């Protein structure tokens, strides 16, 4: 059984970890917070018990290991994306033997500044994030400049997805932002309609 190490155990990291555990993968996580709050405890408590914490992100490193980097981005005072925490997480994996999959949100212009094998943007909604990881509506794969084979769980997610897109990391990042713009437009339209009828 191939191992998956989740780097960053916040909302997105936990959703991915629990989904992969549910699908039968051996899952570990590494987070700077020694005891991160469990965001999906009520519905997924027994799967949390299967996900093991690591003191060292490379403790389970081998060729078959997959690293899923789920570290959040930040916005600086100028309103620009700050990917310093994502960069730091990826630098920890510079000497990793396994495959590095970037699952964090990164603007297209920043992707060239960081090293990874595959970019897998997430389209998760907080309330049903674990379920959306198990059965993604949109599954987008951006293959970087890598010779490493796709992780086995890509095939699982692709088979369960309603729609699949394969392209470059930059194309994958643009799809994320087009999706976000479309969602924002729908929310704005709904709010305007609400204002009109109230």
Q: What is the pLDDT of residues 150-166, one digit of tens each?
A: 999 999 999 999 999 99
CB 128 within 8 A of CB 152: no
Residue reference for tokens 């509506």? 137
Poorest-confidence range of 71-85, 103-117, 136-150? 71-85
- H, E, C per residue of 13-26: HHHHHHHHHHCCCE
Reported as a single tens digit per residue, the pLDDT across 8-56 is: 999 999 999 999 999 999 999 999 887 889 999 999 999 999 999 999 9
Q: What are the CB-based long-range contacts (under 8 Å, 24+) for 123-128? A: 123/176, 123/179, 124/11, 124/12, 124/15, 126/11, 126/39
Model confidence, pTM: 0.88
């Amino acid at each position: 059984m191939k191992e998956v190490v989740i780097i960053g155990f916040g909302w997105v990291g936990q959703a991915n970890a629990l989904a992969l555990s549910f699908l039968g993968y051996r899952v570990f996580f590494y987070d700077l917070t020694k005891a991160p709050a469990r965001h999906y405890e009520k519905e997924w408590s027994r799967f949390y018990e299967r996900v093991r914490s690591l003191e060292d992100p490379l403790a389970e490193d081998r060729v078959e290991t997959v690293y899923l980097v789920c570290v959040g981005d930040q916005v600086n005072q100028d309103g620009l994306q700050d990917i310093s925490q994502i960069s730091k997480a990826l630098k920890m994996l510079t000497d990793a033997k396994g495959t590095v999959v970037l699952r964090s949100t990164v603007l297209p212009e920043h992707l060239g500044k960081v090293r990874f094998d595959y970019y897998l943007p997430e389209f998760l909604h907080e309330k049903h994030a674990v379920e959306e990881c198990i059965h993604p509506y949109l599954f987008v794969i951006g293959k970087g400049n890598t010779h490493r084979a796709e992780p086995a769980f890509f095939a699982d997610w692709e088979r369960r997805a309603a729609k699949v897109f394969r392209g470059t990391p930059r194309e994958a990042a643009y799809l994320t932002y087009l999706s976000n713009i479309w969602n924002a437009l729908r929310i704005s339209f709904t709010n305007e309609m609400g204002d009109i009828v109230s």
